[in-house]
Structure 1
Amino acid sequence: MEIENNYIAAGTPLNGAAQALIMIHGRGASAASILPLAAYLSLPEHTALLALQAPHHTWYPNSFIAPVETNQPALDEALAMVDSLVSQVVEAGIPKANIYFLGFSQGACLTLEYVSRNATRYAGVVAFTGGLIGAELLETQYEGDFKETPILISTSNPDHHVPLRRVKDSGCQLERMHAKITVVAHPGKPHNITDEEIALANKLIFTPKVALEQS
């Protein structure tokens, strides 16, 4: 399995897929480490799997709740990588309404930050333990309308890396942008992805019964 154009592809080839799942790994991990998670998701048929790889396994150097400028230029470069991959998916004939996103930890933060800065109707978004990025949430930084995009933020309570208050505030911000948001905090859960969270994501986001927009 080789990294090509900053991501690993699996599942249905992009030029023959009806929808795509963009997967974003956490700090210190890799595209190869998050890609196998797709096997446990109830994805529709003909889904392209695209797992992004961070330079040096880190999307940005400091905490996601540090001042944004302390994570630059890495943060902007990471957002540009996501945007480039989204553009490739759209150019392949898959509309944004048929694109899923999934991220864990630092990857979940990057996922939420990207979709919130580029809000539109997506197939669905899953953030396993993450929140919007910055020392403060600035509503003026986020624009667009999610048009009832289903978004799940699932986290630990407490979590040493991701404060629950930021998770809840992020959920409120996405709800203001008309996302169909679900925020779940699991008491005492380790900083990982559990079977319970995967089952919840399958129930709320990854259901093959959902009629996706045809490309």
Structure 2
Amino acid sequence: MAIELTHGTGTPSHAIIWLHGLGASCDDFPPVVPHLGLNPTPAIRFVFPQAPDRPITINGGMRMPGWYDIKGMSIEEKQDRAGVEESYAAVEKLIEEQIAQGIPAENIILAGFSQGGAISYYAALRTQHKLAGVLTMSTYMLFAEQLPEERSEANQNTPFFASHGTRDPVVAVNLGEQAVETLNTLGYSTQWKTYPMEHQVVMEQIQDIGAWINACFAR
């Protein structure tokens, strides 16, 4: 299941695949699109996929939409490799669906918030598809220690934009900083910005994201 919408007119030539956070749904971020301040061209297809319901250990095994299980608060306890790989495969399928509809991978941005951002990092750094950009919000990097051995070279020159709230009580801002440090150490082009907010998005951030998207799609 996914929500799709188009910005601009005509057949979309570009796409943004945008993953929601744990316990949320695919209708979380479509309302953001009109506030991004996107250029009228190119026409962009937004794809907001729905994570499957799964038991989440940290929440007492309650079933909820999630891209992978979380067993505890430490980064090690967030690293459910089987669930992450399942979601990575789902992202690969979404990218390939856009390619089949005439949008080349290099015109696709992969985006995600919180858990969705963690999957965006994981997928973008391992896929063989060269992407237009990678957008992450209020998130962290999974399996960072394995990244030097596991990463693909496809997105070595792809721009990354990571943002985070300085008052985030759910995903501490230092986890976001660590992800960016990992990217910088490996030579990726990364933009990092923080906002005085909690585990959320705010209008200034949305406008910054829109400006970054415009720049990515103008390259």
Q: Distance between the aligned counterparts of 1:119 and 1:40, measured in 2?
A: 32
Alignment of 1:124-163 (within 5 A): 124-134=133-143, 137-138=145-146, 139-163=148-172
Choose the corresponding residue for 2:213, options 206, 210, 213.
206
1:192 and 1:12 map into 2 onto residues whose CA distance is: 23
> Which is further off, 162-171 or 106-115?
162-171
The question of whether the paired residues in 1 share the 8 Å contact of 2:15 and 2:109 is answered with yes
Give 1:80's aligned residue: 89
Q: How many residues align?
A: 202
Which residue type is aligned with residue 43 of structure 2? H
SS at 1:153's partner residue? Answer: strand
Name the counterpart of 1:18: 13
Structure 1 position 66 matched with structure 2 position 76: yes
- Return 5+ residue gaps in structure 1 as ranges: 1-5
Q: 1:39 to 1:104 in 2, by over 3 A?
A: same
Separation in 2 of the partners of 1:198 and 1:36?
11
- Equivalent residue number for residue 7 of structure 1: 2
Does structure 2 conserve the Cα–Cα contact (< 8 Å) formed by 1:157 and 1:186? yes
8 Å CA contact retained: 2:169, 2:198:
no
When the two structures are superposed, what TM-score results if normalisation uses the length of structure 2? Answer: 0.80
2:60 corresponds to = none
Aligned to 1:3: none
Q: Counterpart of 1:17 in structure 2: which amino acid?
A: P
**Match runs of 1:50-129 below 5 Å:** 50-56=47-53, 57-62=65-70, 65-67=75-77, 71-118=80-127, 121-129=130-138
> What residue number does 2:42 align with?
45
Q: Does 1:195 align with 2:192?
A: no
- Is the CA contact 2:118–2:142 (under 8 Å) kept in the aligned structure 1? yes
Distance 1:150 1:48 in 2: 20
Paired-residue identity, %:
23
RMSD: 2.6
Once the 2 structures are TM-superposed, how far is the Cα of residue 108 of structure 1 from its aligned partner?
1.1
